[in-house]
Amino acid sequence: MTVTSHDNVPTTVLDGAVKDYSRDKVYVMTALFLAVLTIIEVFTYAAPDFPVWADELLVPVLMILMAVKFFTIVYVFMHLKFDKPILTKLFYMGLVLAVLVYIAMLSTFRIWHNGQHG
Amino acid sequence: MAESLTSRPTLAAADAQQAHAHIDADTNTGISNTKLGMWLFLASECLLFGGLITTYLLYKHPLEGPTPHEIFDIPFTSTSSFVLLMSSLTMVLAVSAIERGEHQRMRVWIGATAALGATFIAGQIYEFTVFVREGLGFTTSRFSSAFYTLTGFHGIHVTIGIIMLVSLVLLSLRGKIPEHRAETVEIVGLYWHFVDVVWVVIFAVVYLIPS
Amino acid sequence: MALTEDRPLALPSGGSDDGYTPTGVFTRPTAETGARSWFTTVDHKKIGIMYGAAAIFFLIIGGSEALLIRMQLWAPRGTLLSANLYNQVYTMHGTTMVFLVVMPIGAAFANYLIPLQIGARDVAFPRINAFSFWAFLFGGVFINSSWLLGGGADGGWFMYAPNSGVIFSPTHGIDFWNLGLIITGIASLTGAVNLIVTVLNMRAPGMTLMRMPIFTWMALVSQFLLLFAIPVLTSAQVLLMLDRGFHANFFNVSKGANPLLWEHLFWIFGHPEVYLMILPAFGLVSDILPTFARKPIFGYPFIVFSGIAIGFMGWGVWAHHMFVSGIGPISVTTFSLTTMFIAVPTGVKILNWTATMWGGKLKFSSPMLFSIGLVTMFTIGGLSGVMHSVAPMDSQQTDTYFIVAHFHYVLFGGAFFGFMGGFYFYWPKAFGYMLNESLGKANFWLMLLGFNLTFAPMHVLGLQGMSRRIYTYDPGYGFEFWNKVATIGAFTLASSVALFVVNIFYSKVKAKNLPPVGPDPWDGRTIEWMVPSPTPAYNFDPIPTVTRVDDFWYRKYGETKDGKLVRIASTAEVAQQRTDGKGIHLPSPSYWPLVLAFGLPIAAYGLIFSLWLALVGAIIVVGAIYGWVMEPPDDPDKAHDDHGPDAHASDGGDAVVADPVDAVKEVETVG
């Protein structure tokens, strides 16, 4: 019933981690990617006049960078990439609901017209 | 249809012969209860932090007292954000280690995660004291209340995470995290990454977007 | 499930399982009867019953407050209550009825019925389930303790800013309200996580989602609503707490705060809240009507999907509570339209119920009468609700008694009638004796009469222009007559609730001379009627294998070629026998949920009176969490932890459960 040999133990318990360290390389590369994005984010502060995000494009660029970081962490570090799809659905249900409801609410305050968000 | 209906096992006794009748630990989704529960909790947390972020967005322009961009120290906060981001890497390496059954390595990575988290919290406390010294008290303006509440609430979440991580290391040292409970590490990890992800949003929305 | 396959849970490494000995401060309690068994229970059935009992206790409190309101308004210039006291009484009435009566009764049914309807032996996290109940109970007691400690909250159940600030409400009433509802919110949230995981993960073999009884479906949707709505309220309440206790500026208008922030957050929570209160009652009715019409529910998928649709659309209508708050024409138009749309799925349900009864051999037992009561009364409330979606009309009716009439028709005429039907329907399953039918019918007619006498006149009063929340009125506006009628109705209603309580005890005494009620007194359709009444601790032995909707019914009945029902088996043949339950793994009781929940109100009292006390509460909470985590996963005497090969072989015999499965089971009792 229980398998005792190391060799034919399939990848495991949690979600299919591997015996060697290849998954760890993915994690390190992901962290590097996130670090680069963070540096770009901070660069928008250090050099606000950089042509890519001058003036009205600044907020969209920041929001895109933020979203990419957010979903990268959720996808790789939180294992949604490797896990059952139902977890992704449940989490995104809450996330999408929060985003939609709160954007609708802020819209009723008409805060987008005060120049706060470009 | 009577024929097909009677041909199936209708009697209660027949249920006992069914293949899975007694395995009550099975789960329908294939995901453990604890992990599914943690994800549901995190989905719910989206709305909690969403409410506080929305409040901040509504109140970010104070009528009096310092404004956000007079007071923020972006290079400092960027550093502490970076520290928290890297704690996600150490956390995921800890999970990876316990998946392979390497307890010692897991403890090291979790310890590193807790240390990075503590560094972040220390940075936040320092930041708050500097802000207060510069005249931004909790009750100064609508901006100050919203700012301290949002970031403080996040800080409390990080602190709870650190306590859980330290508890994990202690449990592991005493041999209380055997292989069949290894998923506990992953679940604490989910919470930790979520806290990190919330900071990703706060860092961009609160600190980086200019007014 | 991945974890049960033939493989170890991780690569074997240094330490092996054999040396694993859990640490615990207490050994797990073992009492199965007596008071201690109730304090330490993790059994979903006992917890469900306690939810129900606590809710009826709070119903009596909230009902007494309602009677005080009606006595005050009996005649113009009433003097029973002062203006200040009146504010407290109606605020506490609303708060109690919403958070401490209707929601917990929904939780009571959900707790009791979901595992039974999906063929599970308990919920996913039994200890968290117990914690949810105790946190709800202590939160409710905490809120009501304000009466003894300086007066209740006085801002209305929606507690609009800036009236909720210290300047306008200097007593501690609102603090009690605020912190108490944060505690019950924690209870609801943990309960929601627990029940959703239960439904998603613990269904019996063959019980696919689309074979689940409608009640389970509706309860699932309402738990999702709780999961996402409660944190919104909590975030608003944290802001209010910081404002009142720590001088923050969230609702301080002089610092530029916008009081509409509270209103938005409250109603973003508040409208899903309305649906999550009504959906469990819809579910009960959807199970009761087919039973007494002896027909399957008409359009099962439509009922299910309309419930889900209500769940989603319920998030897009909140601002219809705020049409007169100056949110602007675009917002008003948008929310007007969404509100009109949400009437559609609700209408689908009404149609389905009507069609279920159409052509059936209706048997007008008490549960059936209450269910038909829901269908009719809720329709009236629903129609006045659609009227409110028309913004110009709503602007006229806002803050008048018309609104009061409307929401009592949906919450009392809808939710509460459904719950009463549920009580009569499931009483034999929970307690092993039937409630008296004659008294039950009298109960229904008295309640229907009292309900309509109380709330129908409020439509008229509202259209005449009587404001809600005023503590008195002057003679000469034409309010006198209908207020008297409403007051008479309120006392009729109270006597019908009293009759229900009388019926409980009367029937219990009478039941001693009656033969024991069988597993299936109503000729039921769903699998909870397979198990003996009252339900044994282990629920099912064995777990049934489900092949279709209304599985139990089709174990009893088949159809001939021309569609006529024929009995193919007697109830005794298909129902389960009561067994000794040996060899069935059940979670062990625990003290920690009680201790953990007890720490919460202590901390809350501390936040109001002294931060030192808050520290004590926090220490109790943290200590209880550690106790909880360190507790042995099970009663050691039951030999479930050592993974011995014979752990399961004792009596069940036919189920050889391998090590990994047993290990998983342990992980799952961690909750």
- C242 CA to centre of own chain: 29
Residue C654 scores a pLDDT above 70 = no
Position A7 scores a pLDDT of 36
**For B13-17, what is the mean pLDDT?**
67
Q: Do C328 and A2 touch (CB under 8 A)?
A: no
For residue A6, list chain C residues with Cβ-Cβ distance below 8 A: 11-12
Does C646 score more than 70 pLDDT?
A: no
Q: How close does chain C come to A54, measured CA to CA in Å?
A: 31
Query: Cα separation of B92 and B192, whole Å?
Result: 10
Q: What is the DSSP string of C220-282?
A: HHHHHHHHHHHHHHHHHHHHHHHHHHH---SS-GGGT--THHHHHHHHHHHHHHHHHHHHHHH
Q: How close, in Å, is residue C108 to chain A by CA atoms?
A: 25
**Residue C30 pLDDT > 80:** no
The answer to whether residues C589 and C31 touch, using CB atoms and an 8 Å cutoff, is: yes
pLDDT confidence of residue C660: 39
Query: So where are chain C's domains?
Result: 41-589
Long-range Cβ contacts of C646-651 (<8 Å, 24+ apart): C648/C583, C648/C585, C649/C583, C650/C582, C650/C583, C651/C580, C651/C582, C651/C583
- pLDDT at site C27: 62
Q: Is B7 on the interface with C (CB under 8 A)?
A: no
pLDDT confidence of residue A18: 47
Burial C555-586 (b: 16+ CB within 10 A, else e): bbbbeeeeeeeeebeebeebbbeeeeeebbbb
Distances from the Cα of C357 to the Cα of B127, C251, C314, angstroms: 67, 51, 27
Can you give the pLDDT at residue A14? 42
Question: Of B17, B44, B58, which to mutate for an interface test with C (greatest number of C Cβ within 10 Å)?
Answer: B44
Same domain assignment for residues A40 and A66: yes
Please say if the pLDDT value at position C643 is more than 60: no
Subunit contact A34:B204, Cβ cutoff 8 A: no
- Residue C43 CB: number of other CB atoms within 10 A? 26
Tell how far CA A79 is from the center of its chain: 11
Question: Is pLDDT above 60 for B55?
Answer: yes
Most trustworthy range by pLDDT among C3-7, C23-27, C120-124, C418-422: C418-422
Lookup: tokens for B92:
């995921």
**Confidence (pLDDT) at C9:** 37
Residues A10 and A46 in one domain: yes
Please write the tens of the pLDDT for every residue from C66-82: 999 999 999 999 999 99
Give residues with Cβ within 8 angstroms of C337, minimum separation 6: none
**A65 and A91 belong to one structural domain:** no
Mean of pLDDT over chain A = 79
Q: Is the pLDDT score of C653 beyond 50?
A: no
| Chain A residues with beta carbon closer than 8 angstroms to that of C2 | 13
* Interface contact B48-C235, CB threshold 8 A: yes
Long-range contact list for B197-200, CB < 8 A, 24+ apart? B197/A70, B197/A73, B197/A74, B197/A78, B198/B45, B198/B49, B198/B154, B198/B157, B199/B81, B199/B84, B199/B85, B199/B154, B200/A66, B200/A69, B200/A70, B200/A73, B200/B81, B200/B85
**For the ranges B5-19, B93-107, C366-380, the one whose mean pLDDT is highest:** C366-380
Q: In chain B, how many domains are there?
A: 1
**Other CB atoms within 10 A of residue A48 CB:** 12
Least confident of C385-389, C430-434, C525-529, C645-649: C645-649
Pairing of strands C557-559, C565-567: antiparallel
Distance CA C39, CA C47 (A): 10
Taking CB atoms and an 8 Å limit, are A31 and B85 in contact across chains?
yes
At residue C440, does pLDDT exceed 50? Answer: yes
The whole-number average pLDDT for the span C634-648 is: 40
By the CB < 8 Å criterion, does A113 face chain C?
no
The pLDDT score that the predictor gives to residue A56 is: 79
Tokens 């949002």 belong to which residue?
Answer: B150
- pLDDT the model gives residue B42: 97
Q: Which pLDDT value is given to residue B167?
A: 94
The answer to whether the Cβ–Cβ distance between B99 and A12 falls below 8 Å is yes
Reported residue count of chain A is: 118
Instruction: Give the whole-angstrom CA distance, residue C160 versus residue C376.
Output: 33
Please answer yes or no on whether C11 and A107 come within 8 Å at the CB atom: no
Averaged pLDDT for residues B135-141: 94
- Dihedral sign, Cα of residue C262, residue C267, residue C268, residue C272: positive
C546-599 confidence digits (pLDDT tens): 999 999 999 999 888 887 888 988 888 889 988 887 778 788 889 999 999 999
Q: How far apart are CA C333 and CA C442, in angstroms?
A: 46
Q: What DSSP character marks residue C634?
A: S
Instruction: Please tell me which residue of chain A has the smallest CA distance to C4.
Output: A13
Residue in chain A closest to B51 (alpha carbons) equals A102
Q: What pLDDT, on the 0 to 100 scale, is given for residue C446?
A: 97
Which H/E stretch holds residue C83? helix C83-95
How high is the pLDDT of residue C667?
A: 38
- What's the pLDDT band for C443 if we cut at 50, 70, 90? very high
Contact C8 A3 (CB under 8 A): yes
Reply yes or no on whether the pLDDT at C457 is more than 90.
yes
**Whole-number pLDDT of residue C583:** 79
Nearest to B201 among A14, A70, A90 (CB): A70
Whether C233 shows a pLDDT value over 60: the answer reads yes
Which residue range forms the structural domain that includes residue A8? 1-83
Q: Are A2 and C7 inside 8 Å of each other by CB? A: yes
CB contact under 8 A, C659 and A12: no
Cβ within 8 Å of residue C448, ≥6 positions away:
C373, C377
Nearest to C659 among A2, A98, A105 (CB): A2
Q: Which of B16, B101, B183 sits opposite C542 (nearest CB)?
A: B16
Which single residue is written with the structure tokens 């038909």?
C372
Q: What is the mean pLDDT of residues C227-232?
A: 97
Q: If you count them, how many residues does chain C have?
A: 671
> How confident is residue C662, by pLDDT bands cut at 50, 70 and 90?
very low
Min Cα distance C558 → chain B (Å) is 5
Q: What is the CATH number of the domain that holds B180?
A: 1.20.120.80
Domain count, chain A: 2
Instruction: Write out chain B residues lying below 8 Å of C187, CB-based.
Output: none
Q: Is the pLDDT of residue C145 over 70?
A: yes
Residues of C with CB below 8 A from A94's CB?
227-228
Label residue B19 by pLDDT band (50, 70, 90): low
Asked if B67 and B211 touch (Cβ cutoff 8 Å), the reply is: yes
Section C217-240 average pLDDT: 97
| Conformational region of residue C165, where left means phi above 0, alpha means psi within -120 to 50, and beta covers everything else | beta
The percentage of chain C sitting over the pLDDT mark of 70, rounded to a whole number, equals: 90
Instruction: Test B99 with A35 for CB contact under 8 angstroms.
Output: no
Mean pLDDT of C443-458: 97
Asked if C51 and C107 count as a contact pair (C-beta separation under 8 A), the reply is yes
Residue of chain C nearest B29, judged by CA positions? C201
Which chain C residue lies closest to B21 (C-alpha atoms)? C543
pLDDT of residue C218: 97
How confident is the prediction for chain C on average, in pLDDT?
88
Confidence of residue C129 (pLDDT cuts 50, 70, 90): very high
Rounded mean pLDDT of C119-129?
A: 93
Residue B193 inside a domain? The answer is yes
Mean pLDDT, range C471-492, rounded to an integer: 95
The interface predicted TM-score of the complex, written ipTM, equals: 0.91
Residue linked to tokens 């409801």: A101
Query: In this predicted structure, what is the pLDDT of residue C15?
Result: 35
* pLDDT of A19: 54
| CATH superfamily membership of C41-589 | Cytochrome c oxidase-like, subunit I domain (1.20.210.10)
Domain carrying residue B95: 33-57+77-208
Q: What is the percent of chain C where pLDDT is above 90?
A: 79
Quote helix, strand, coil % in chain A, to nearest 5. 65, 0, 35
Distance from C-alpha of B86 to C-alpha of B67, rounded to nearest angstrom = 30
CA distances from C490 to C59, C379, C412, C458 (A): 14, 21, 12, 12
- Note whether A108 contacts C228, CB cutoff 8 Å: no
**Rounded mean pLDDT, A1-14:** 38
For C105, the token pair is: 């009764």
Q: Using alpha carbons, list the distances in angstroms from residue C58 to C110, C139, C226.
A: 19, 12, 21
pLDDT digits (tens, 9 = 90+) for C534-543: 999 999 988 8
Q: What pLDDT was estimated at residue C20?
A: 39
What does the pLDDT read at residue C34?
Answer: 78
Question: C266-288: per-residue pLDDT in tens?
Answer: 999 999 999 999 999 999 999 99
